[in-house]
Amino acid sequence: MINLQKTTLTINEIEKILSFGLLSILKSLPKTHQEQISVLDIKSSKTLYDNFHKSEMIRGCDTFRYDGLTWSPFPKDHFSEFRNYKLSSKTQLKKWLFNCGIPFKNSVFLLSDGDRNAIVTTWKIVVKHSDTIFWADDSVVFDESHSWCLFYHHEGDIYFGRTFHRK
């Protein structure tokens, strides 16, 4: 279990720590959706980032060359199920994410290259706002079980792996 301190921050406090893109997304969401999103403080974010890197669910950026056709962010044999999607339409993306089979109520972690602060939200929020979450920076979504991982590459490719095999 990952021990994290969720910090409830005001929009003004969030403005100081998040990139412009993510901040504009948060401001545009309905209040009921904003309430399902927690921004972690720096210490908890570092713990989560460290935990994620130790899990070895994705390969480090220095160990691959992205070609968009045969590339996978996941180490070989890490997941028994693998699929990918090239961003095309908002509706198709939402259907594709829904078909990944993650329950909407599940809490998930969102890590992004563009922000130091990690986010805890629900899979429902990720699916509902996928067109605004996945648009610029490389991002990773996973849950505490580490049994699945979603990776968004900034060139518009999304990768999903399931059933993590521990060494």
Q: Is residue 143 part of a domain?
A: yes
CA distance 26 to 34: 7
Sign of CA dihedral 25, 27, 32, 36: positive
pLDDT tens per residue, range 72-103? 788 877 888 889 898 888 889 999 999 999 99
Q: Are strands 79-86 and 157-164 parallel, antiparallel or unpaired?
A: antiparallel
CA distance 47 to 54: 11
pLDDT(1) > 70: no
Please give the pLDDT value at position 41: 79
Q: Is residue 1 part of a domain?
A: no
Give the 3-state DSSP-derived string for 128-152, with helices as H, strands as E and coil as C.
Answer: HCHHHHCCCCCEEEECCCCCEEEEE
Taking residues 17-22, what's their average pLDDT? 53
Amino acid at 15: E
| Residue from 80, 105, 46 nearest 160 by CA | 80
CA distance 34 to 9: 11
Taking residues 153-157, what's their average pLDDT? 83
Q: Is residue 134 part of a domain?
A: yes
CA distance 21 to 135: 9
Q: Is residue 15 part of a domain?
A: yes
Q: Is residue 46 part of a domain?
A: yes
Calculate Rg over the CA atoms of the chain: 15
For the full predicted model, state whether its pTM sits above 0.85: no
Please give the pLDDT value at position 107: 94
What is the rounded average pLDDT for all residues in the chain? Answer: 78
Confidence of residue 68 (pLDDT cuts 50, 70, 90): low
Confidence of residue 59 (pLDDT cuts 50, 70, 90): confident
pLDDT tens per residue, range 100-125? 999 999 999 999 876 677 889 999 99
Residue with more model confidence, 41 or 9 = 41
Q: Supply the range of the domain harboring residue 152.
A: 10-164
CA distance 59 to 122: 25
Provide the domain count of the chain. Answer: 1
Q: Is residue 47 part of a domain?
A: yes
Quote the tokens at residue 44.
Answer: 């908890």
Q: Is residue 3 part of a domain?
A: no
Q: Is residue 5 part of a domain?
A: no
C-beta of residue 71 within 8 angstroms of C-beta of residue 64 = yes
